[in-house]
């Protein structure tokens, strides 16, 4: 048959078509027997476009895109009923299911489609595979799995977690890459294979090799003998070795022991892995091999620093599951995930080496923040022991959606109960920064945010360092408080809370010379930024706003220091202090180093208030957003006047006289326009008829009070609107 060679691309212009180009299609079994390099087809078995690269069929998706996390790994929670039930919501047919009762001290259970249903192995035990319990996992289904009535997986009323991985739908193949023939099923795109094999009658740690089918070098291999008592053996790329004859270390799931030096895994490469035992041969074994896949999985290490501002680890994705193990000392295998702990800090842990029930926080447990591209350790001990060497295994979740403008700010009035666990609701969103003030008594302000973390707060009216108290969780419709202080939860006292929304999943930001953690709501022009100072003038910090901030408010967390209020509305070398009444100071470059912020970073001087070496800081960044927020200045007239041009009716206004000494003032629509609070003092709420008098459709009106409208004096303001129209 004659063919036409197209030499002019314009002859093949499909731009005008309102349909799609149809490729030849067929199953994997129907692939051409003698393809030419560059041939393309649609594979109806895998539902992927593939091409022949001259030696193999390659999937277009696996060549260019990471796997969709929720189609290859997922965490599901369920409640036991004591009767057979189907567990759904996995999103795919799982090939490995790892189940743990969260309430009782029952063993972990792993079942996979290679060995088949009702065959369990137990990470916390060296026991052989158990086949006597036929009513645990009874089938692997299209969207999950079915369980029988066994208490270990289905105790009535108990809650369970199941971690689920996809391999190849239970379809296995014979692999002869090593001298030991293995049975494998592989999800090459997600870097996961299940390997079943029989060790030889005379095992040799130097020559025995088993093919894993991944097509790339694994980052971790987990091995368990199934026909007898034997430890779990685990090789992780950060333990060393893997090259032919190279001495390496291995770990065991069923113990908290540190890594052991051995040549057990002396070969790990793109086709085979050494998986031999030193005991008598003809042993039945199962192995799980994982390759690192960009955007989906990460296998790495870090060194603990013993601080609540612990190591920041970049994975390139938002985690759904992380397992940790210290390798140079006795320590538990700790597992956290995004379903048992839905918000930071992720503090609900299970131990792979123990049948213990789920624990929340504690000296031997794990506290970690999940970030949009990694994680940060937030506990001084546990999995952040100073000088400790740790490995981790992380799998991705589908990325969280970025916050939108709607419901980005709200005022909230509430009455304290004095009881730990007071839930303040009715905001309509999950807040990321909560600023609380007792209205009726002389009490400090309290400001908490998701980047500082729960139960940590700072006080705008003082120079005090960060303290451990106040907001214990940021909830979907508000926040929860402890009962430690009359500042925010005394029985019968009246309070106001001002609430801003950012992304609940912060981001590791490397835009500046100093790495930062930033939780941003770009749609609302707001970000919360934490960083560690380096003491160097001219250092920069990424803020994640996506636009130039007009206001940045700084507070040192680990020592006493003033609140520094910087704004592009002031001269670059000028600043105000939120905790002081003073007029504008000149900083001579010690805060912004004489450099205005940009759309990506702000610059630091070497002041102790913003940039002492190894000190910890928080910064709140704001940019005006049409219809939602506005920051500006005006000149007082000593009489009455309306400040217009905001473009919306505000619900919250902060005002400070800049050219004379005067308190900061906050007004909000929930308390009423004439009621004022003072961020720089712990004073109770007061009413002034000649101060801010009304919230108008395009701004706010002022009386003749010197604090807001003294003749010829200049003022700066920040204004926000509740429920803006996007």
Report whether 422 contacts 668 (CB < 8 A): no
In a domain, 404, yes or no: no
> Taking residues 366-383, what's their average pLDDT?
92
Do 257 and 212 lie in a common domain? yes
In a domain, 459, yes or no: yes
Do 530 and 614 lie in a common domain? yes
pLDDT tens for 349-370 read 999 999 999 998 754 567 899 9
In the predicted structure, residue 468 carries a pLDDT above the cut 80: yes
Among 17-31, 432-446, 488-502, whose mean pLDDT is lowest? 17-31
> Taking residues 241-246, what's their average pLDDT?
51
The DSSP code sequence of 175-223 is E-SSSB-EEEEEETTTTEEEEEEE--SS--TTT--EE---SS--SEEEE
Where does the pLDDT of residue 235 fall: very low under 50, low under 70, confident under 90, or very high at 90 and above? very high
Share of the chain above pLDDT 70, in %: 93
Do 348 and 275 lie in a common domain? no
Report whether 488 contacts 446 (CB < 8 A): yes
In a domain, 726, yes or no: no
- Asked if residue 129 has a cis previous peptide bond (ω within 30° of 0), the answer is no
Nearest alpha carbon to residue 159 among 280, 279, 76: 76
Residues 6+ apart with CB under 8 A from 8: none
Q: Which of 474, 500, 526 is the last residue of a domain?
A: 500
In the predicted structure, residue 286 carries a pLDDT above the cut 80: yes
Residue count of the chain, please give it: 726
Angle of CA points 365, 367, 368, to nearest 5°:
140
Q: Which of 109, 131, 165 is the last residue of a domain?
A: 165
Q: What integer pLDDT is reported at residue 245 of this predicted model?
A: 46
Do 442 and 514 lie in a common domain? no
> Taking residues 548-558, what's their average pLDDT?
98
Do 117 and 45 lie in a common domain? no
Do 488 and 546 lie in a common domain? no
Q: What integer pLDDT is reported at residue 267 of this predicted model?
A: 83
pLDDT tens for 139-182 read 999 999 999 999 999 999 999 999 999 999 999 999 999 989 99
Report whether 349 contacts 401 (CB < 8 A): no
Domain containing 31 — which CATH number? Answer: 2.10.10
In a domain, 417, yes or no: yes
The single-letter DSSP state of residue 703 is: -
Do 618 and 706 lie in a common domain? no
> Taking residues 441-458, what's their average pLDDT?
95
In a domain, 9, yes or no: no
Q: 291: which 2 tokens?
A: 């390759």
Where does the pLDDT of residue 64 fall: very low under 50, low under 70, confident under 90, or very high at 90 and above? low
pLDDT tens for 668-726 read 999 999 999 999 999 999 999 999 999 999 999 999 999 999 999 999 999 999 988 76
| Structural domain containing residue 475 | 409-500
Do 513 and 605 lie in a common domain? yes
Do 120 and 221 lie in a common domain? no
In the predicted structure, residue 249 carries a pLDDT above the cut 90: no
In the predicted structure, residue 588 carries a pLDDT above the cut 90: no
Where does the pLDDT of residue 389 fall: very low under 50, low under 70, confident under 90, or very high at 90 and above? very high
Residues 6+ apart with CB under 8 A from 104: 155, 158, 357
Q: What integer pLDDT is reported at residue 283 of this predicted model?
A: 86
The single-letter DSSP state of residue 337 is: E
Where does the pLDDT of residue 8 fall: very low under 50, low under 70, confident under 90, or very high at 90 and above? low
Q: Are strands 73-79 and 159-165 parallel, antiparallel or unpaired?
A: antiparallel
What's the number of domains the chain is made of? 7
Do 521 and 581 lie in a common domain? yes
In the predicted structure, residue 244 carries a pLDDT above the cut 70: no
Q: What integer pLDDT is reported at residue 1 of this predicted model?
A: 43
Task: Please report, for residues 211, 298, 511, 525, 717, the alpha-carbon distance to residue 597 in angstroms, rounded to integers and kept in the order given.
Answer: 55, 34, 13, 14, 19
Report whether 470 contacts 484 (CB < 8 A): yes
Do 654 and 713 lie in a common domain? yes
In a domain, 45, yes or no: yes
In the predicted structure, residue 599 carries a pLDDT above the cut 80: yes
Q: Which of 600, 622, 644 is the last residue of a domain?
A: 622
> Taking residues 604-625, what's their average pLDDT?
97
Specify which residues 554 forms β-bridges with: 564, 619
Nearest alpha carbon to residue 383 among 413, 358, 362: 362
CA atoms within 13 A on the CB side of 28: 8
Q: Which residue has the tokens 């074994």?
A: 285
Nearest alpha carbon to residue 62 among 208, 186, 147: 186
Q: What integer pLDDT is reported at residue 276 of this predicted model?
A: 58
Q: What is the mean pLDDT of the chain?
A: 92
Rounded CA gap, 717 and 461, in Å? 18
Q: What integer pLDDT is reported at residue 172 of this predicted model?
A: 96
Do 283 and 183 lie in a common domain? yes
């Amino acid at each position: 048959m004659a063919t036409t060679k197209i030499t002019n691309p314009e002859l093949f212009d499909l731009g005008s078509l309102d349909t799609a180009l149809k490729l030849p299609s067929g199953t994997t079994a129907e692939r051409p027997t003698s393809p030419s390099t560059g041939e393309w087809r649609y594979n109806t078995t895998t539902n992927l476009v593939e091409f022949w690269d001259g030696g193999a069929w390659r999937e277009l998706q696996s060549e260019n895109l990471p796997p969709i996390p929720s189609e290859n790994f997922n965490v599901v929670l369920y409640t036991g009923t004591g009767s057979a039930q189907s567990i759904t919501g996995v999103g795919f047919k799982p090939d490995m299911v790892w189940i743990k009762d969260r309430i009782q001290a029952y063993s972990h259970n792993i079942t996979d489609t290679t060995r088949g249903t009702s065959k369990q192995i137990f990470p916390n035990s060296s026991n052989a595979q158990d086949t006597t319990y036929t009513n645990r996992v009874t089938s692997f289904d299209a969207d999950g799995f079915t369980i029988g009535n066994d208490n270990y997986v289905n105790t009535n009323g108990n809650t369970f977690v199941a971690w689920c991985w996809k391999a190849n739908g239970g379809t296995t193949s014979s692999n002869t890459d090593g001298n030991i023939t293995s049975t494998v099923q592989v999800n090459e795109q997600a870097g996961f294979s299940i390997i079943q094999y029989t060790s030889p009658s005379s095992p040799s740690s130097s020559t025995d090799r088993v093919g894993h089918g991944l097509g790339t070098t694994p980052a971790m291999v987990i091995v368990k003998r199934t026909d007898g008592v034997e430890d779990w053996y685990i090789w992780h790329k950060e333990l060393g070795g893997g090259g032919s004859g190279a001495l390496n270390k291995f770990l065991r799931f069923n113990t908290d022991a540190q890594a052991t030096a051995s040549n057990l895994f002396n070969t790990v490469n793109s086709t085979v892995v050494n998986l031999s035992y030193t005991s008598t041969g003809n042993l039945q074994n199962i192995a799980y091999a994982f390759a690192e896949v960009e955007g989906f999985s990460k296998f790495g290490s870090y060194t603990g620093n013993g601080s609540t501002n612990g190591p920041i680890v970049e994975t390139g994705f938002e985690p759904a599951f992380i397992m940790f193990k210290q390798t140079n000392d006795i320590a538990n295998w700790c597992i956290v995930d995004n379903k048992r702990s839905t918000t930071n800090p992720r503090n609900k842990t299970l131990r792979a080496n123990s049948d213990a029930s789920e624990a929340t926080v504690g000296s031997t447990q794990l506290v970690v923040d999940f970030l949009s591209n990694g994680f940060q350790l937030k506990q001084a001990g546990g999995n952040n022991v100073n000088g400790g060497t740790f490995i981790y295994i992380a799998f991705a979740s589908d990325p969280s959606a970025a916050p939108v403008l709607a419901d980005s700010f709200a005022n909230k009035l509430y009455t304290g109960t004095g009881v730990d666990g007071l839930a303040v609701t009715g905001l309509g969103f999950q807040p990321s920064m909560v600023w609380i003030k007792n209205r009726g008594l002389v009490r400090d302000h309290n400001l908490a945010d998701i980047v500082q973390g729960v139960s940590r707060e700072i006080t705008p009216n003082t120079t005090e360092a960060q303290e451990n108290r106040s907001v214990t969780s940021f909830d979907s419709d508000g926040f929860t408080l402890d009962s430690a202080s009359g500042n925010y939860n005394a029985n019968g006292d009246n309070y106001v809370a001002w609430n801003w929304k950012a992304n609940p999943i912060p981001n590791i930001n490397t835009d500046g010379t100093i790495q930062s953690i930033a939780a941003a709501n770009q749609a609302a022009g707001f970000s919360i930024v934490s960083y560690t100072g380096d003491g160097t003038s001219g250092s920069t910090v990424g803020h994640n706003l996506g636009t130039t901030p007009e206001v940045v408010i700084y507070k040192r967390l680990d020592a006493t220091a003033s609140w520094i209020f910087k704004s592009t509305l002031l001269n670059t070398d000028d600043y105000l202090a939120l905790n002081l009444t003073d007029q504008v100071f000149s900083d001579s470059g010690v805060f912004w180093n004489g450099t205005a912020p940009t759309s990506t970073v702000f610059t630091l001087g070497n002041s102790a208030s913003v940039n002492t070496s190894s000190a910890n800081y928080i910064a709140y960044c704001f940019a005006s957003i049409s219809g939602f927020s506005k920051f500006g200045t005006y000149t007082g007239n000593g009489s009455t006047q309306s400040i217009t041009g905001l473009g919306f009716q505000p619900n919250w206004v902060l005002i400070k006289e800049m050219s004379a000494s005067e308190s900061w003032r906050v007004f909000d629509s929930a308390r009423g326009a004439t009621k004022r609070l003072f961020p720089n003092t712990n004073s109770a709420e007061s009413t002034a008829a000649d101060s801010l008098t009304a919230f108008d459709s395009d701004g706010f009106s002022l009386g003749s009070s010197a604090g807001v409208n003294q003749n010829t004096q200049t003022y700066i303001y920040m204004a926000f609107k509740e429920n803006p129209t996007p």
